[in-house]
Amino acid sequence: MNTGNPLQQQEKGALSGKVALVGSITQLEWRSDMQAKRKLPIGIQTFREIREQNHYYVDKTAYIRRLVDEGKHYFLSRPRRFGKSLLIDTLKELFEGNEPLFRGLVIHECWDWSMRYPVVRLDFSSGDYRVPDHLREDAMAQLDAIEGETGVVARYASAPLRFRHLLRELHLQAGQRVTVLVDEYDKPILDALDAPDLARANRDFLRGLYSTIKFADAHVKFTLLTGVSKFSKVSLFSGLNNLTDITLSPRYSALCGYTDADLDTVFAPELPGLDRDDIRRWYNGYSWLGEEKVYNPFDILLLFFNRKFGAYWFETGTPTFLIDTLVARAVGALSLDGMLGSDALLSTFDVDHIATEALLFQTGYLTIQKEEDRAGQMFYRLGYPNREVRQSLNESLLNRLADNPALVVEHDARLYDLLRINDFAGLEAQFKAFFAGIPYQWHTKNNIADYEGYYASVFYSCFASLGLDITVEDSSHHGRLDMAVVFNAHVYLFEFKVVEHASAGAGLAQLRARGYADKYRGLGYPIHLIGVAFSKATRNVAAFEVARV
């Protein structure tokens, strides 16, 4: 195999119409014939179909070449709909030596196409793993299919032993070591999280299956396991502790997903008629510590198809488990934007303990906003990646709270109209009506330890579900939660208090004393200070006072 560095070849300009490497791999220069419109590969995860049917394709093969050059066993976690299955399929075609599919791509000139490797691909993206023993049946069926295609005769009744035998026999049969690819390695566990005993059984089965890869290392050429979550090594990967985790590697941060450069080059024919800044606000923002943030491919493809903005990624999977977990743990919307997590915490994911930060980060509802070094230990400040997630997640929280989606829709529409005309009396009445509509049993079933944080979180979710520009001040200090909203060339600064008597004056006084308005004066917009007082007894707005500065 040619072991020359493909990235150096790019810099020398050896590959016409490809990318130049400047810090990270980006697609900057494309031939003029690449600018014609192509088919949008919506929902297509088959590399061959994309290449043969003239679909748009963002070339990730320079990253793939780097993986092959620099290591052997890898693990990658990314949220759903980020192109993990397409990456797995691309690797399958590459190691099987299907050269015509790679013509014109970065890796084509630096891969030895005379070499063909056997590939074992396990795919757990489908199947109802909430049914006991379904996982074992599915794994055995996949091994049956591979053995049937390759002519390997099964000699063992257990999946791990059959898997190890298969790897050894394929190596002997082909004279080349085997590439092992596992797609959605964790889905059998995630599907069963609401049935912990079954989830543990599925986890234990997978641990035995995956450990085979390490024990059969002499027969393995390359390994990649992908999934949504990153289960702790103790719980799932204790038998496969030789994986290199590239989830938070800056050098592979754009291995899945689209960059701004990808949109401006590969998808240039689709951009006319769409506001480029709106595309960034709606869909960009995912970070795995690379210099560039990335877009979810599914969002972008649906945007280009429908020619209008929408919560395409969010709507493909209702986060029922996520919302129930946040409510059960009394995690308010205000605390989500700005959460702090360590590397260990973001990796703490297991059936018996799922950290809130890890759950939100690994599923794609929060992303890394910045990295903070504290005495040599790295911490990550988390936040919403973009408007789509912030708006949709807060709408889901409101729906769960009110238990009446129709009420939430009506409330959102009315709130937007009132804010647009600065009808503060109407806003007060609207919020009183909304709080009154929250079922009484919600309060009795949920012990609200922090009333002020709860009320402020409801306010935040109401504005966030409209997609407005919101900044949260002192969000980590309970009892002093305020919120800034910039909308329609006006600034609204909120201070929330829980009081015994109907007076919001203290909130206004605090807003003035802290000088929150000062940093917004440069915008040249009218600034409104709004003190909102809540009654713990009535569970509603007790006072709503406004002053313009």
Nearby residues of 497 by Cβ (< 8 Å), 6 or more positions away: 452, 504, 506, 507, 531, 532, 533, 534
On whether the CB atoms of residues 230 and 77 are closer than 8 A, the answer is: yes
Question: Has residue 177 got a pLDDT over 70?
Answer: yes
pLDDT tens for residues 369-396? 999 888 888 899 999 999 999 999 999 9
Written as one letter, the residue type at 410 is E
Residue 473 has pLDDT above 70, yes or no: no
For all residues of the chain together, what is the average pLDDT? 87
Averaged pLDDT for residues 45-73? 97
Q: Give the closest residue to 482 by CA, choosing from 506, 505, 516.
A: 516
pLDDT of residue 299 exceeding 90 = yes
Q: Is the pLDDT of residue 13 over 60?
A: no
Cα–chain-centroid distance for residue 203? 22
Distances (CA, A) of 355 to 35, 322, 325, 326: 45, 12, 10, 11
Segments making up each domain of the chain, as ranges: 6-252, 403-548
Q: Which residues contact 206 (CB under 8 A, 6 or more apart)?
A: 135, 185, 186, 188, 189, 236
Q: What is the pLDDT of residues 188-209, one digit of tens each?
A: 999 999 899 999 999 999 999 9
Could you tell me which residues come within 8 angstroms of residue 334 by beta carbon, excluding any fewer than 6 positions away? Answer: 453, 456, 457, 460, 472, 475, 481, 483
Pick the CATH number of 403-548 from 1.10.287, 2.30.30, 3.40.1350, 3.30.750: 3.40.1350
Amino acid letter, residue 390: R
**What pLDDT was estimated at residue 447?**
54
Q: Which long-range contacts (CB under 8 A, 24 or more apart) does 189-196 make?
A: 189/129, 189/229, 189/231, 189/236, 189/351, 190/228, 190/229, 191/128, 191/129, 191/130, 192/129, 192/130, 193/321, 193/351, 193/354, 194/321, 195/130, 196/351, 196/352
Name beta bridge partners: 119.
179
State pLDDT tens for residues 146-164: 999 999 999 899 999 999 9
In terms of pTM, does the model score above 0.85? yes
Task: Judge whether residue 496 has pLDDT over 90.
Answer: no
Average pLDDT over residues 41-50: 97
